[in-house]
Amino acid sequence: MQNAVRVSKNVYWVGAIDWNVRNFHGYQTRRGTTYNAYLILGEKVGLIDAVKAPFKEEMLARIRSVIDPQRIDIIVSNHAEMDHTGCLPDIIRETNPQAIYASAMGAKVLHEIYSLDREIIPVKDEDTISLGNFNLTFLEARMLHWPDSMFTYLEEENILFSQDAFGMHYASSERFDSSIPQDILEYEAATYYANILLPYSPLVAKLLQKVGSLGLTIKAIAPDHGPIWRKNHQWIIEKYKNWAEQKPRAKAVIVYGSMWHNTEKMARSIAEGLSSEGIEVKFMCMDCCHRSDIMYELLDAAAVVIGSSTLNNNILPQMADIMTYMKGLKPKNLKGFAFGSYGWSGEAADHIHGTMKDMGIEMISEPLKVKNAPTDDVLKACYERGQALAQSIHAALG
Ligand code: FEO
């Protein structure tokens, strides 16, 4: 028995809970996720978004707990990615709605993915459609998280359906933020932002400005993943403003991979040097940390220091993993340097230095390299390089 959950007078959550998913494009979803869909019971019945294909029956069961799915008149697809549209072709076939709406890009992408034989009506920024007694206004949310993304605002109940934005990967039997501990909300929302939305931060800032300028009354934000914000909606908007700026604080993240603990010894001395100057250090060995956790830590860091042993004239594979992932997510406002030990050729630290430069990280020095085991003098140099970075962070933060 799977029931809908009432969100407001005429809106119900009819999504699905994916307790077991642990990977979303390389982002480790340790707490699973939800795929949220919403039913609006107006004079016309509207369905906002759908769920991943294997969860179709769960969504239909929740809809049936309120109305016959055949009564759905209108479907709005805020985001074409398959976690929200996987079951859409079946739902369209089975419910035969009067109209299906998406952004112009969404309409195009849905046809490209599913070869639909139904028209998807493209809507533009600030277009409004009527459900009889209710109005839905669409807001373009380009790249949050795909080019097709849009928000839908239900004027009469002041709900902003925000698809991926303001979401988190968090499976729970609770549907609302007020029932979830604040530390979990903050951690999971920040991890989601750092691993999904970070590269689009300038567009996040622009969209938040636009939403603010429209003067919408917002009583709830209903995203497509995780809890519905009914209590902390203003808090999460403020958090997004901060994360979009990626404002650094006195914190450095050391990320490294080490074959025989020599690069690790260097990392430890660098960490001591940073700490001695009052910088908070996150010490992250790629053999025991996940790339998603590193992105979470970088969200408010001022510096990143990256090291690798040299393996076959290159960096270690676990370092290639994080370098590729980090480069794609384009973290900003970071300083740092590269380091590493080697046996004979020593290319790793140079490779990392080059990639960090390409990422726009302000490099405070050339790479710190050591042949085989670091001597006390080398470890002293590592400590002092940590101190130099700390001083550079303090100077920048003022
Ligand atoms: Fe939740 Fe971009 O899909």
Predicted confidence band of residue 82 (pLDDT cuts 50, 70, 90): very high
Cβ count within 10 A of residue 23: 9
Closest residue by CA, ligand 1 atom 1: 164
Q: What is the pLDDT of residue 279?
A: 98
Domain 5-244 class in CATH: alpha beta
Count of CA atoms in the C-beta half-sphere (13 A) of 316: 21
Q: Strands, DSSP E only, in 60-140?
A: 72-77, 99-103, 121-123, 128-130, 135-140
Predicted confidence band of residue 299 (pLDDT cuts 50, 70, 90): very high
**Cβ of 224 less than 6 Å from ligand 1:** yes
Predicted confidence band of residue 128 (pLDDT cuts 50, 70, 90): very high
Residues of the chain with CATH 3.60.15.10: 5-244
Encode pLDDT of 240-294 as tens digits.
999 999 999 999 999 999 999 999 999 999 999 999 999 999 999 999 999 999 9
What pTM was estimated for this model as a whole?
0.97
Encode pLDDT of 300-358 as tens digits.
999 999 999 999 999 999 999 999 999 999 999 999 999 999 999 999 999 999 999 99
Q: What is the pLDDT of residue 81?
A: 98
Q: What is the pLDDT of residue 276?
A: 98
**CATH number of this structure's domain 252-390:** 3.40.50.360
Q: Which of 49, 164, 224, 264 is catalytic?
A: 164
Nearest-atom index, ligand 1, CA of 145: 2
Q: Which of 49, 81, 140, 297 is catalytic?
A: 81
Q: What is the pLDDT of residue 124?
A: 98
HEC letters along 165-177: CCCCCCCCCCCEH
